[in-house]
Amino acid sequence: MRTKFIIIVLLQVLLLFGIIGYREHWLATGDKVILKTMPVDPRDVFRGDYVKLTYEITDITLASDSQKPEFVPGQPIFVSLETGTDGVSFITSVSKETPAEGRFIQGRVRHEYNDTTRTVILRDDSGIKRELSSRTWFMGIKKGDAVTVCLDNQNSPSFFFKDDAPYKQSCYGKLQSVHGIVEEVTEYRAKKVNVEYGIESYFVEEGKGIQIEQGHAARGPLKVEVSLRKDGKGIISRLMTDEGREMR
């Protein structure tokens, strides 16, 4: 019985070292790409410190405007990539099949959805025309409406309210208030697919997850170096600031 127990323990240890060795080989030999990302939800007390990531390539605009779904949840998807002048990879095409050539990352479809962006031309009270776009906040707005738009520190709409609203409203906190008349409203509709790549969590030193999330919020996008296997599966090798400084 003792011998059997020792054998089981040794097999488990060998398996663990095998997994670690394979991971290190993957990191060392994989094709490296840089992806831009924003971190959210930085701590899970049941799993330790980590940064949960969502990428620029997480939501992909599809070329087709067909009402028929092109992708279904759980389906493999292959995203072809090219590298921009800033070193960050961007999407060139998507496919249900493994690309015959070129660099690509493999993911799995979460869901396909229709996305609508509304753009409003607002002439504010000083006579300046402002072009404001939102996927969320411009429902029900129309030409000729007198409105107040509340902008965040990036000059993006957080919400709006009309002058003829049944009750008084105001922009809260540090939001900037802009009042004016709507001169034009346009809509852009697109079919998109949300993709999971298996690189959405990055574990960091104890106590660092929240620091990275909070510190990054004021600095801008993060960059993630991903090591790709030949089949397109990726693993994170480094997390960096937008200036290229490695974060640990």
Name residues whose C-beta falls within 8 Å of residue 40's C-beta, 6 or more positions apart in sequence.
52, 53, 54, 213
The phi and psi torsions of 230 (rounded to 5 degrees) equal -65, -25
**pLDDT given for residue 45 in this prediction:** 43
Per-residue pLDDT, 245: 62
CB 104 within 8 A of CB 78: yes
The per-residue pLDDT for 122 is: 94
In this prediction, residue 74 carries a pLDDT of 94
CA 164, 165, 167: angle at the middle one, nearest 5?
A: 125
Hunting for tokens 């902008």 — which residue is that?
A: 151
Q: Are 50 and 208 in contact (CB under 8 A)?
A: no
Q: How far apart are CA 65 and CA 72, in angstroms?
A: 16
Give the chain's residues under pLDDT 70: 1-2, 4-29, 38-49, 64-69, 204-221, 242-248
Please provide the DSSP assignment of 76-130 as one string: EEEEEEEE-TTS-EEEEEEESS--SSS-EEEEEEEEEEEEEEEEEEEEETTS-EE
At 120 the pLDDT is 93
Three-state DSSP at 174 gives: coil
Bridge partners of 239, per DSSP, are: 224, 247
Sign (positive or negative) of CA dihedral 70, 106, 91, 100? negative
Report the pLDDT value the prediction gives residue 69, as an integer from 0 to 100.
65
Residue 240's pLDDT is 75
The two tokens of residue 52 are 């949960």
DSSP, res 45: T
pLDDT at residue number 153: 77
pLDDT value of position 65:
58
Q: For residue 241, count CB atoms less than 10 angstroms from its CB and return exposed for 0-12, middle for 13-18, buried for 19 or more.
A: middle
φ/ψ region of 244 (left if φ > 0, alpha if ψ in -120 to 50, else beta) reads: left
Please give the sequence-ordered ranges of beta strands (E in DSSP) within the chain, or none if there are none: 31-40, 43-44, 48-55, 59-61, 76-83, 89-95, 104-124, 129-134, 146-151, 157-162, 176-196, 201-203, 222-228, 234-241, 246-247
